[in-house]
Amino acid sequence: MNRKTRIATLALAAMLFGSNAWADHDYRYGAKSRDQRAQYDYARVTSVEPIVNHVRVTTPVRECWEEMRYYTVDRGRYGRDGSTLLGAVIGGAIGHQFGSGRGNDAATVAGTLIGAAIGNDASRENGYEVERIARPVQRCETRYREHREERIDGYRVYYKYRGQKYVTEMPHDPGNRIRIRVDVRPVR
């Protein structure tokens, strides 16, 4: 036999006698083909338990209250400016009586300044008022409150199929029955 004939015979024998080893896999169509040929059935749910997780929740809370703010207002009499002016005129007239020449002018200026200061002080003592006023002011602050909360992260589902008991976790409660995939393969 020539070499090409021997290789063809060995390949044919391998395909005929080795077909049992290849029965579980279908490489011609890939993995998607196997999913398309899968079988599905329904199993009876025996019980469902929620999977509970305890979490800490922080909530911002805005709290507001009123405070009294105090401030003062100077309430001088309207004659205050007049008292200062009157004191300056009287002080200037008295200062003008002293000295002569340039000394007279200096005495007049000094008398005017001293008279204005005396008149201003006198008006302050006689009619000067300070009023204290209270006004409500709203103050707000954000504080954080913490509390623990139970959250359901999923469900532990117990089910029965053909006399066998199984358990799985799901994101929702499936109800009375659950759809399952049945995988049928030959035993090796």
Cα-Cα end-to-end distance for the chain? 36
pLDDT score of 10: 63
Q: What is the pLDDT of residues 19-75, one digit of tens each?
A: 444 444 444 445 555 556 678 999 999 999 999 999 999 999 999 999 989 888 766
Domain ranges of the chain: 1-37, 60-143
pLDDT score of 16: 53
pLDDT score of 115: 75
> Which position has the higher pLDDT, 10 or 87?
87
pLDDT score of 155: 94
pLDDT score of 184: 74
pLDDT score of 27: 46
Tokens matching residue 116: 């204005």
Tokens matching residue 117: 């200061």
Beta strand spans in 76-176 (E): 129-161, 164-170
